[in-house]
Amino acid sequence: MTEFSPALLRAAALRSLGAKSPIQDVLNRLGFVQADPIRAPARAQDLTLMQRVKGYRAGDLERLYPQLDAEEDMIPNYGFVPRHVQALLHPREVGPTRIEREHPQILDEVRALLEGRPEVHPKELTALLGRGRVGNAWGGQSSASTRALDTLHYRGEARVTRREKGVRLYARAPHLQALRDHPLPEAKRLSRTIHLLAELYGPLPEASLGYLTSLSRFGFPHLHTQLRAAFRQAVREELHSARVDGVRYVWPAEWTLPDAPTPRGVRLIGPFDPLVWDRRRFAHLHGWTYRFEAYTPAPKRTLGYYALPVFQAEKAVGWANLRVEKGELLAEVQLIPGVRRTAAFEKALNAELERYRAFLAPVQGS
């Protein structure tokens, strides 16, 4: 009988890295890549793909997006999904929103403008519609036309075609209209979503999978109860599980955990990467608390503005803060107590920093 130890689970978690592959293969394999606009030293989606895509450079996803089988959508947070995953999320039923209450005609006006154009920039809509500004989900203000585009995108009536200097451009989404006409069976949509989360973030504590399921209510706003039922069925009947130090872990039934290879070398992992996203699992398996502190007041930070966990082999042994100044990559690396900066560690760290220099080359020149 296999003994499931923290070391075994740490090695198994590294499955999400896999062998470096072309970007489309990685998107298909992961199923979801979380996005975040902070660039320190690069955006979250780029940091995730850098560790998995051969020769990846910062900004490649945005640059290649129009040619990829990829869409921007919500599961369990905002990010990028291949269309076979987006098919699980739609049709999405949403009640009246603030933008509709404040501007009752605006969605119909935006629909009409989308109908006659290959793509639309939010500024173009603002000029044409002439509406003011409304509150957004982040406590700030956005133009009413931008909020209308966001609403239609969330509902599946529009899609993001590309980004221009970070700004999303939109068009109609006929492939999602086809899903509204002929949706996948509801049970299949929800079951596949739970299994996608278990595979992407697993092995993980059952409680963490439950939290991911709760977050995914934004992807399934009208199916909260059914989504929780799919989670309960999966952990009860479909996923494998074991208790490790009193914590119940779950993972896909087709995985054989003892076969998980343990990589060598040093890696600097982004804060939204599937490997470190679950802070509960991180603390249990690595023995220390990792925090994302970009939104923490500077005097209260302990790790830094955008600390990247440092992995040596399968274990997180510290963190690094990276920044580019005058074209040079600067790294501040801290190790947890008990970890020595040996010659082997320094050599592997320098190799990883060289990979980051190549990855960040477009950022340095921007």
pLDDT tens-digit profile of 319-359? Answer: 999 999 988 999 999 999 999 999 999 999 999 999 999 99
Query: What are 73's strand-pairing partners?
Result: 79
Model confidence at 137: pLDDT above 90: no
How far apart CA 61 and CA 71 sit, in angstroms, is 11
Task: Decide the pairing of beta strands 133-135 and 78-81.
Answer: unpaired
Model confidence at 139: pLDDT above 70: no
Query: Percent of the chain beyond pLDDT 90?
Result: 80
pLDDT tens-digit profile of 56-78? Answer: 999 999 999 999 999 999 999 99
pLDDT tens-digit profile of 236-287? Answer: 999 999 999 999 999 999 998 877 667 789 999 999 999 999 999 999 999 9
pLDDT tens-digit profile of 105-123? Answer: 889 999 999 998 999 999 8
pLDDT score, position 128: 75
State mean pLDDT over 191-195.
Answer: 98
Name the residue among 290, 307, 270, 283 with its Cα closest to residue 207. Answer: 283
Name the residue among 134, 10, 32 with its Cα closest to residue 77. Answer: 32
* Cβ partners under 8 Å of residue 327, min gap 6: 364
Give one DSSP letter per residue of 168-223, joined into a string.
Answer: EEEEE-HHHHHHHHSPPPHHHHHHHHHHHHHHHH-SEEHHHHHHHHHHGGGTSTT-
Residue with tokens 């190790």: 335
pLDDT tens-digit profile of 82-92? Answer: 999 999 999 99
pLDDT score, position 126: 82
How far apart CA 219 and CA 213 sit, in angstroms, is 10
Model confidence at 177: pLDDT above 90: yes
Residue 291 phi, psi dihedral angles, 5° rounding: -125, 145
Write out the H or E segment, with its range, that includes residue 345. Answer: helix 343-359
Sign of CA dihedral 8, 11, 13, 19: negative
* Cβ partners under 8 Å of residue 149, min gap 6: 110, 120, 122, 125, 158, 168, 170
CB 239 within 8 A of CB 224: no
Provide the CA 57 distance to its chain's centre, in angstroms.
Answer: 18
What is the distance between the terminal CA atoms of the chain, rounded to a whole angstrom? 55
* Cβ partners under 8 Å of residue 185, min gap 6: none
pLDDT score, position 260: 66
Residue with tokens 């592997």: 348
Number of other residues whose CB lies within 10 A of the CB of residue 112: 9
